[in-house]
Amino acid sequence: MVRLNRIYTRTGDDGTTGLADGSRLSKAEPRMAAIGDVDEANCAIGVALTLIKDRPTHATLRRIQNELFDLGADLATPGEDFAPSDMALRITADQVERLEQEIDAMNAVVEPLKSFILPGGTPAAAALHQARAVTRRAERSAVTAASEDSLNPLALQYLNRLSDHLFVLARVTNASADGDVLWRPGASRAKSQQADP
């Protein structure tokens, strides 16, 4: 277990931070941007959780939050061996597959998409869409970091699936209210043209 007796250590005052193997890295490095964006995605899910009352959904998102901490640890562990060990937390194929199974189960209970949808609807769905967008950014940051360092490809797959998961969960959440907010291409342009003399 992690034990934190002090919150500040002053070791990062020089603009570096420690990785899991004890090495230090500039906080400006792409690996650190990815770790930070994963943390922000986790926070966004935490906000969404405050708006969700459904217990199974709550449990699913709590599990995902825990897995995002595992993913952050994975990204913070340099090396070429991505097998989990006592010394390295790694995202595994079964975690990615679980997200896929949950996506398929949720997608089966919503109407097929007939249009792109706007992020919104219920407060919970809007928060899930926000979490989805932040997760997409975390994925982009991880892809950038992977172009410079070896990263676990399953960590990137997990982020890709998670954004899809959050998108479908937002749709399920809206289905219990007034449904998705549909994009109507050019709708505002058509109205402004009608208003012109």
Quote the pTM value: 0.88
3-class secondary structure, 164: helix
How would residue 195 be classed by pLDDT, with cut points 50, 70 and 90?
low
Quickly count: other Cβ atoms within 10 Å of residue 162's Cβ.
27
pLDDT in tens, 108-130: 999 998 889 999 999 999 999 99
State the average pLDDT for the chain: 89
Residue type, 87: M
* Domain presence at residue 3: no
Instruction: Report CA Rg, the chain.
Output: 20
CATH number at residue 122: 1.20.1200.10
**Is the separation of the CB atoms in 79 and 87 below 8 Å?**
no
* Domain presence at residue 7: no
* Domain presence at residue 112: yes
Tally of structural domains, the chain: 1
3-class secondary structure, 29: coil
**Burial of 53: CB neighbours in 10 Å, binned 0-12, 13-18, 19+:** exposed
**Is the separation of the CB atoms in 121 and 180 below 8 Å?**
yes
pLDDT at residue 27, rounded to an integer: 78
Signed CA dihedral, 52, 53, 59, 62: sign only: positive
pLDDT in tens, 134-189: 999 999 999 999 999 999 999 999 999 999 999 999 999 999 888 888 888 888 87
The single-letter DSSP state of residue 112 is P
* Domain presence at residue 19: no
Which element (helix H / strand E) includes 102? helix 93-107
* Domain presence at residue 6: no
* Domain presence at residue 135: yes
pLDDT at residue 17, rounded to an integer: 73
* Domain presence at residue 16: no
How would residue 5 be classed by pLDDT, with cut points 50, 70 and 90?
low
In whole angstroms, what is the distance from residue 149 CA to residue 30 CA?
A: 9
Quickly count: other Cβ atoms within 10 Å of residue 80's Cβ.
5
User: Domain range spanning residue 142?
Assistant: 27-195
**Residue by residue, what is the 3-state secondary structure of 32-99?**
HHHHHHHHHHHHHHHHHHCCCCCHHHHHHHHHHHHHHHHHHHHHCCCCCCCCCECCECCCCHHHHHHH
Q: Say whether pLDDT at 32 is over 90.
A: yes
Lowest mean pLDDT among 1-10, 63-72, 99-108, 139-148: 1-10
* Domain presence at residue 168: yes
